[in-house]
Amino acid sequence: MLSTKELLKIVKRADFEEIEDARDLVTFQHLGELAAAYSPLENWNQKAALIHLVQDHLDPRFRPIMLDFLTAPDTQGSGASTDDVIPLTKAIALCHLDENFDD
């Protein structure tokens, strides 16, 4: 099991393949520290990475985070392959706010 500190290192790298591999390692015990770590993150890609990491967990501490992420610009404008990350993460946020993972 990874520590929250190790999970946050993965989030800060915003490597979405690594995030996908780490999703199964997130437990309820990580959620409070992960929620608290959202605001200090440096950019929208890191914030998206955190949301991707915790997307399998409905927890009320993430509601303000999901609402905040809906204000992110739709793309980073670089034309990079990560440009679709922001809209996809907004969809995850909406599913969380609706408490419905089936959409």
71-80, long-range: CB < 8 A, 24+ apart: 72/44, 72/47, 72/48, 73/44, 76/44, 76/45
Closest by Cα among 36, 33, 2, 32 to 19:
2
Residue 76 has a pLDDT of: 55
pLDDT of residue 91: 94
- Give pLDDT < 50 ranges for the chain: none
**What pTM does this model have?**
0.90
